[in-house]
């Protein structure tokens, strides 16, 4: 659980944040706050001069092989590499020109290019976006890493997703 000094996001280290609404009474005490980073969307707590990451994940995320891809976008579909996945959420990276998707609700499709398997129309809500510059083939490339939560999945889709992840 990352902890950093000061009122900054423990994930992206910026000081841009907003308080989360509807907090319990103890978050209204001086020097205590539950905040959300406006840059990457990460929730964190500020207590006694330090910021503490609020982990939203409740299940283990698996790092899939590079042959597992996500497709999003209805009118102009785009593919992205899956960083990690669980039955509750997914992390994926795409080129910066494909946009930061923070707080958007999308429908995605998953593809396993090796096995030819796919799972279509999974609703998600993007809960975090982080922009990074990485060296790809000797060229600096701007990538956006999005973290999303599956929302409103039927029992059938949940079972299919769990099976898709296991394979």
Domains of the chain: 3-53 (no CATH), 68-166 (2.40.10.220)
Q: Using DSSP, state whether 22 is helix, strand or coil.
A: coil
Q: What is the mean pLDDT of the chain?
A: 82
Which residue reads 């785009």 in tokens? 78
Strand order in the sheet with 43-47: 3-5, 50-53, 43-47, 32-37, 17-19
Centre a 10 Å sphere on the Cβ of residue 155 and count the other Cβ atoms it contains: 7
Q: What is the pLDDT of residue 98?
A: 54
- Residues 66-78 have pLDDT tens digits of 788 999 877 788 8
Which residue reads 């944040």 in tokens? 17
- Residues 95-152 have pLDDT tens digits of 776 556 777 888 999 998 888 888 999 999 988 887 778 777 888 888 888 888 999 9
CA dihedral of residues 84, 89, 112, 139 (deg, nearest 10): -40
């Amino acid at each position: 659980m990352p902890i950093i000094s000061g009122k900054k996001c423990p994930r992206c280290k910026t000081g841009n944040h907003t308080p989360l609404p509807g907090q319990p009474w103890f978050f209204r005490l001086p020097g205590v706050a539950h905040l959300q980073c406006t840059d990457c969307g990460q929730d964190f707590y500020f207590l006694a001069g330090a910021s503490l990451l609020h982990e939203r994940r409740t299940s283990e995320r698996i790092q899939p092989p590079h042959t597992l891809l996500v497709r999003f976008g209805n009118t102009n579909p785009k593919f992205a590499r899956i960083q990690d996945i669980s039955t509750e959420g997914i992390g994926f990276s795409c080129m910066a020109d494909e946009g930061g998707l923070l707080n958007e609700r999308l429908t995605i499709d998953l593809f396993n290019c090796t096995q030819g398997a796919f799972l279509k129309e999974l609703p998600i809500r993007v809960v975090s976006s982080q922009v990074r510059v990485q060296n790809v083939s000797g060229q600096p490339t701007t990538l956006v890493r999005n973290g999303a939560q599956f929302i409103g999945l039927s029992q059938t889709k949940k079972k299919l997703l769990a099976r898709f992840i296991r394979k």
